[in-house]
Structures are given as structure tokens and as C-alpha cells.
């Protein structure tokens, strides 16, 4: 029992170190927030839709999360971004996809009231003359509140260090740039039907965006 508690507090300390390093240097669902640190179970892989709204940006996406082990799952996503080219009145469309892994290092119980997970992902957005590659690394903390008929409300928060590589083809040749930033994600999900939830989240740091979505277990 003592060894279990020691490993648990070591896991919490590790998560704190990762979050502190991320904050000191300025995803991991890559382009959207899945609500909660706890990995999905093998009995209930999750599929969903999400919409995001930011500065000159509308993002539409679909995603799935699938169990790998009792403490890990895998996420895949596809997105379409509509960007208002500021000052021109023209809209530009980008398609993209991402993949991420989530690993739970702490599971909530009587001694520790939160779930904590580390995440690593990679994804891209592209069009004919543009490529954006994003690699997020960070951690998420959440807590499940049980309400009517055993359904759950899950507030969550996470900090992610983002590596963004952008390549643009111009008349003068290829121009590229690599940037590192930090993103804070805060939100909550609420189970409204059996195995079905709505969620909302705010991303800030690398720009600001608001997300709403729905996910359901199979």
C-alpha cells in the first residue's frame, strides 16, 4: 500500500514538472480539446464532432478515441479550417488531421481526487502552397462529479507546449519558420445521455479560441 501511494505522488510530481516546464518555455489533442484526463475504456470508444471559433477562424472537426491499455488511449482527428484573410475580405480553407496518445499517470481515488494524464501528438494543416505541422506536448488534470442517474460532469484544465512548423511557397521560393509557444486549455464536459456528452473549452496563449462539441461512446 505504501508503495502504491509513493508511485501515485511521484506521478503527480512528474505531471507538475511537465506542466511547469511547459509554462516556463513560452496539445494532446492536436486541434481540439477532448474533455477529461481519464482515457476512454475498451467498452466505450468515443466518436464526436467539434466546432471552434477564434480570431478570423472557424474550425470544424471530427474525432475518435480508442482504448489501448487500462491507462492509455489513442486519438485521431480530421479538421477543416476557414480563415478570414485579414484586410482582404477573402476566406482561405485548410484541411488537416492529427493523432495523439494519452497516458494516465494518476487515477482519482479516495486519496487523490483528480485524474492526471500526459499527452503527445502531431498533426498538420495544408493547402496547395501552405503546410503547417503542429506537435503538442503537455498534461491535463480533471475531476469527475457524478450527478443525476450516475451521469458525470468533468471540468478539466491542461497546459501544452506547442511546436509549430510553417512552410509557405512564394514567388521567391519556399519560406519556413519554426515557433514554440504555450497553450492553456480550460473547459468542462457534461454527460447528457448514456455514453453521450457535450463539452465546451477555451484555448488561450497561442491565440484564443472557443470550442463546443459532442461525443458519444459506441
Q: Residue 216 pLDDT more than 50?
A: yes
Q: Residue 46 in contact with residue 214, Cβ under 8 Å? A: no
**Interior/surface letters 11-33, b for 16+ CB within 10 angstroms, e for the rest:** bbeebeebbeebeeeebbbbbbb
- Residue 71 has a pLDDT of 95
171 vs 67, higher pLDDT: 67
Average pLDDT, the chain: 84
- Residue 89 has a pLDDT of 55
pLDDT 10s digits, 31-72: 888 999 999 988 889 999 999 998 888 999 999 999 999 999
H-type alpha helices, the chain: 2-24
Confidence grade of residue 23 (pLDDT, cut at 50, 70, 90): very low
Confidence grade of residue 117 (pLDDT, cut at 50, 70, 90): very high
Residue whose grid cell is 447528457: 192
pLDDT 10s digits, 76-98: 999 999 988 665 556 789 999 99
Lowest mean pLDDT segment, chosen from 28-32, 53-57, 202-206: 28-32
- Residue 15 has a pLDDT of 42
pTM, to two decimals: 0.79
Pairing of strands 145-146, 130-142: unpaired
All domains in the chain, ordered by first residue: 2-217 (2.40.160.20)
Q: Residue 33 in contact with residue 201, Cβ under 8 Å? A: yes
Lowest mean pLDDT segment, chosen from 8-22, 119-133, 169-183: 8-22
131 CB neighbour count, 10 Å cutoff = 18
Amino acid at each position: 500500500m505504501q508503495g502504491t501511494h509513493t508511485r501515485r505522488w511521484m506521478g503527480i510530481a512528474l505531471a507538475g514538472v511537465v506542466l511547469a516546464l511547459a509554462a516556463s518555455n513560452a496539445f494532446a489533442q492536436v486541434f481540439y480539446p477532448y474533455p477529461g484526463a481519464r482515457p476512454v475504456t475498451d467498452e466505450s470508444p468515443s466518436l464526436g464532432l467539434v466546432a471552434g471559433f477564434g480570431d478570423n477562424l472557424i474550425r470544424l472537426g471530427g474525432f475518435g478515441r480508442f482504448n489501448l491499455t487500462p491507462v492509455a488511449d489513442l486519438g485521431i482527428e480530421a479538421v477543416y479550417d476557414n480563415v478570414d484573410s485579414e484586410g482582404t475580405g477573402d476566406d482561405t480553407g485548410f484541411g488537416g488531421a492529427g493523432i495523439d496518445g494519452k497516458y494516465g499517470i494518476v487515477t482519482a481515488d479516495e486519496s487523490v481526487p483528480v485524474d492526471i494524464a500526459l499527452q503527445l501528438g502531431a498533426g498538420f494543416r495544408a493547402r496547395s502552397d501552405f503546410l503547417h505541422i503542429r506537435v503538442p506536448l503537455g498534461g491535463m488534470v480533471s475531476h469527475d462529479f457524478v450527478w443525476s442517474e450516475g451521469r458525470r460532469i468533468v471540468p478539466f484544465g491542461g497546459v501544452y507546449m506547442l511546436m509549430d512548423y510553417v512552410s509557405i511557397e512564394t514567388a521567391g521560393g519556399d519560406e519556413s519558420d519554426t515557433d514554440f509557444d504555450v497553450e492553456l486549455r480550460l473547459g468542462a464536459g457534461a454527460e447528457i445521455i448514456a455514453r453521450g456528452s457535450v463539452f465546451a473549452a477555451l484555448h488561450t496563449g497561442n491565440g484564443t479560441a472557443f470550442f463546443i462539441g459532442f461525443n458519444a461512446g459506441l
